[in-house]
A and B are shown apart, each in its own frame.
Chain A
Amino acid sequence: MTTHAPAPTPAPDKGWRPGGVEALVVVLLVLLLGQHWLSGLFTSPAWQAGATIFVSIVVQATPFLVLGVVLSGLIAAYVPPEFFARVLPKHPALAVPVAGVAGVCIPGCECASVPVAGGLMARGVAPAAALAFLLSSPAINPVVIVSTFIAFPNNHVMALARFVASLATAVIMGWLWLRFGRGEWLRVPNRDHLVGSSRFETFRRTAGHDFLHAGGFLVIGGLTSAVLNVVVPQSWLQAVADRPVISVVALAGLAVVLSICSEADAFVAASLGQFSLTARLAFLVVGPMVDIKLFALQAGTFGRAFASRFAPTTFVVGVVVASIVGLWLL
């Protein structure tokens, strides 16, 4: 898939060791031959529902992840590094809000934004600015805002509240990173080894590399979310619906657990009618920025040291900002 040597003369691997490909072939053969036996194992309804949700999350995320890795490949191959230095303000504190607003440009969901943010950092964009973009783009792009507008026909202000609260959270997180973040927490993706002899080669290597990098973690996220989806009883939610403070935190927590796509979450929020609008705003603000699937993707792309600090902080900032914006607008 990837080569180590600087192009244009890719140096070879040590050759075909017994391992990789052979293991893959064995795994696939076992699966194929054990098909009947395997399908007999998973007949309980809970297993099947869990498997369906897992597969659904992966299948649904794949086109968005492909969009993200194609964009990050294009950035690596066709956008010169000077470009970002030119369009972004020199001072990182100013670059953060600009990058946050630039999130409007990519009509994808959170799966697409992780590889793109990685690509931006690899291209020399200040990490704080790339992180603001990472958080804002899945929440404030036109597709998401329009679907929020449609999902809340009686509370159109919800779309505005979502835009304001998400952008504010993203920019605050960028600034927090600028002030308190440490370089050693963040593993900036290094793509030098992916440079090919032509732009197209660089593009396809970066895209393939990024997909494999994120894909495994997407699977971890999908598995975790599917298990929680099947194991956690929904009745827990009903119990807290009428308690103002707890309900905000509970719905934000639900967003983390469900890991649904930011293009769909407005409709799920609309169906949670027993909760206050502010609690549902917290669901919409936190969901695209912190969820299990996304945490796994971030850990895979930027390292665990980063994700384990960044995600909980984003959760707290998101809940606080959503509560303030909710009190103000809703």
Chain B
Amino acid sequence: MTRDVGSALLVLVGAAILRIAAGDTYLRYVKESMRPWLLTAGAILVLLGLLALVDVWRSVRAEARAHAAGDDGERDHGADPFDDGHGHGSRLPRAAWLLVLPVAALFVVPPPALGAFTAERQQSTTVAPAVGVAPPPLPSGAVVPLTLNDFASRAVWDDGRTLQGRTVTLTGFASAAPGGGWYLTRLALTCCAADATVTKITVKGASFAPTTNQWVTVVGHWVPGGGTQSETAIPWVSAQSMTREAAPKDPYE
């Protein structure tokens, strides 16, 4: 790869990162807390690339002058470990061309957020909280919105004590349950989509069966029956009402 292409790629990769971090697209791939780092990294790359392009432009002009003086710029770089044997300006490995792939993906068709396909391949996991630490009581209010993971953690590891007699709102998408039916589902990220973990909840008394990947909000209350004290237990919620929703800005918990 020549350095002019390399410099252009630096600018493009930086611009692609800036583009997704400027809007909400980055939330499909990483946590919201990564945003300032993405913006910083994107800006640094664009800057490095632009300055390198200036270098290229200068050396092209210098070459024009050197050419007149009879120096064709032949240099010995036989000992250079980065030379991939493609002659002048080829100090970068051809693999650097592959950076076109993420640039293309981010500029042309940014892949969608993970959904039912990923959820159906994984077991629902609710990690045990610290032993002896009871979850705090739910905030007051007639209807309390909860994350699926918070609901599951209270239901599975505290036997639903803090959920008893309370009405909650849960928002997630539908993923297929083995043997028919569906789960209310939400994925959670720690760093990026490669480390997604899944929480699933069985909806009892559902007024309709949403299609796979359809987002729904369920208003209902916890009922025992989903199993407790197990990381893979899938708790139950008894639905009072259900509504279809558009996918939220941040699809992960």
Interface residues of A (CB under 8 A from B): 1-5, 9-16, 19-21, 23-24, 27-28, 31-32, 35, 38-39, 42, 45-46, 48-49, 51-60, 62-63, 65-67, 70, 153-154, 187-190, 193, 204-205, 207-209, 211-213, 215-217, 219-220, 222-223, 225-226, 229, 233-234, 238, 258-261, 263-265, 267-268, 270-271, 273-274, 300, 303
Are B44 and A70 in touch, CB under 8 angstroms? yes
Interface residues in B16-73 by Cβ distance below 8 A to A read 17, 20, 26, 28-30, 34, 37-38, 40-42, 44-45, 48-49, 51-52, 55-56, 58-60, 62-63, 66, 71-73
Q: How many angstroms from the CA of A21 to the CA of B40 in the assembled complex?
A: 26
Let me know if B204 is at the binding interface, CB within 8 A: no
Are B10 and A14 in touch, CB under 8 angstroms? no
Q: Is the interface of A mostly helix, strand, loop or mixed?
A: helix
Let me know if B85 is at the binding interface, CB within 8 A: no
Residue numbers in B under 8 Å from A274 (CB-CB): 231-232
Interface residue total, chain B, C-beta cutoff 8 A:
95
Are A14 and B89 in touch, CB under 8 angstroms? yes
Residue numbers in B under 8 Å from A15 (CB-CB): 60, 63
Residue numbers in A under 8 Å from B107 (CB-CB): 31-32
A284 CB to nearest chain B CB (Å): 13
Q: Could you say which of B87, B118, B127 contacts A271, with CB atoms under 8 Å apart?
A: B127
The chain A residue with its CB closest to the CB of B110 is A55
Quick one: which of A28, A54, A208 has the most chain B CB within 10 A?
A: A208
Are B2 and A48 in touch, CB under 8 angstroms? no
Residue numbers in B under 8 Å from A188 (CB-CB): 81
Interface residues of B (CB under 8 A from A): 1-10, 13, 17, 20, 26, 28-30, 34, 37-38, 40-42, 44-45, 48-49, 51-52, 55-56, 58-60, 62-63, 66, 71-73, 75, 77, 79-82, 87-89, 91-102, 104-118, 121-123, 125, 127-131, 133, 190-195, 197, 231-232
The chain B residue with its CB closest to the CB of A41 is B109
Residue numbers in B under 8 Å from A229 (CB-CB): 194
A19 CB to nearest chain B CB (Å): 7
Q: Could you say which of A12, A38, A62 contacts B59, with CB atoms under 8 Å apart?
A: A12
B76 CB to nearest chain A CB (Å): 9
Are B112 and A48 in touch, CB under 8 angstroms? yes
Q: How many angstroms from the CA of A225 to the CA of B36 in the assembled complex?
A: 26
B35 CB to nearest chain A CB (Å): 10
Residue numbers in B under 8 Å from A11 (CB-CB): 59, 62-63, 66, 71, 73, 75
Quick one: which of A39, A56, A193 has the most chain B CB within 10 A?
A: A56
Q: How many angstroms from the CA of A19 to the CA of B109 in the assembled complex?
A: 26
